[in-house]
């Protein structure tokens, strides 16, 4: 998901250079820059919902299921590049309808049970519409990646209209996030740019070890709470 976006309305130097080289995109870039404001609003709305649910869960169950939340909004340049790859028209309506990961939120939980509790609480709210759900915890990816992915739509109330804005939410444990972050760094940001079959196998074994640790910590938590 990359770094947290502090302000989706700021065009980076690389964005400006990109537009300078592709003058025909200037109008679309401006429209997409304005669109990111709406996606920033969606992130604020979802983050607030999650924080409220986290506080409510603590009152009922004596612990916070969410350790922390990260978020980002794709830059206009990234949106343009993705639309080109997917043959999507560069206008706000088509972008909103077809690109679901412009607004991204990552929720880091304590335990596996917390992942499903947070997802159920969020999806039970009547202004949240589920578009797609992929459970990579019950069915991990081939490389060992684990996380629960939700794509939702949420209404954003503007001065003159209501926009139904999509957002991607990844919910995972601390152990899952630790493995995913380092695996991505090792696989895609290594100096050689090449990962051998042996190293890929080791990385997957690390994912299995992390999953086993998650299950053991979950079991310890359950046993301790059964004594209360």
Active-site residue set: 168
Q: What is the dihedral of CA 192, 102, 150, 169, to 10 degrees?
A: 80
φ, ψ at 97 (rounded to 5°) = -75, -25
Q: Beginning with the edge strand found earlier in the chain, give each strand of the sheet holding 162-173 in spatial order.
A: 66-73, 103-109, 162-173, 148-157, 129-135
Q: How far apart are CA 44 and CA 38, in angstroms?
A: 10
CB atoms within 10 A of CB 84: 11
Q: How far apart are CA 30 and CA 94, in angstroms?
A: 15
Q: How far apart are CA 136 and CA 144, in angstroms?
A: 9
Those residues whose C-beta lies under 8 Å from the C-beta of residue 179, and which sit 6 or more positions away, are: 144, 145, 146, 206, 207, 210
């Amino acid at each position: 998901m990359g770094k947290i976006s502090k302000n989706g309305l700021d065009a980076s130097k690389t964005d400006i250079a990109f537009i300078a080289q592709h003058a025909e995109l200037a109008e679309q870039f401006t429209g997409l820059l304005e669109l990111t404001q709406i996606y920033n609003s969606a992130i604020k709305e979802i983050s607030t919902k999650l924080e409220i649910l986290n506080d409510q869960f603590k009152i009922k169950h004596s612990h916070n299921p969410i350790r922390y939340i990260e978020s980002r909004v794709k830059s206009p340049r990234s949106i343009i590049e993705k639309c080109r790859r997917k043959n999507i028209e560069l206008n706000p309506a088509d972008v909103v309808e077809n690109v679901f990961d412009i607004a991204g939120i990552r929720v880091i939980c304590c335990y596996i049970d917390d992942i499903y509790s947070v997802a159920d609480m969020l999806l039970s709210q009547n202004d949240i519409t589920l578009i797609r759900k992929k459970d990579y915890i019950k069915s991990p990816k081939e490389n060992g990646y684990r996380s629960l992915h939700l794509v939702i739509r949420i209404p954003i109330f503007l001065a003159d209209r209501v926009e139904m804005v999509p957002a991607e939410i990844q919910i995972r444990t601390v152990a899952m996030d630790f493995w995913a972050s380092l695996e991505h760094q090792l696989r895609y940001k290594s100096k050689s740019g090449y990962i051998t079959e042996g190293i890929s196998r080791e990385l997957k074994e690390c994912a299995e070890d992390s999953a086993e640790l998650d299950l053991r910590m979950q079991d310890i938590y359950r046993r301790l709470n059964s004594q209360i």
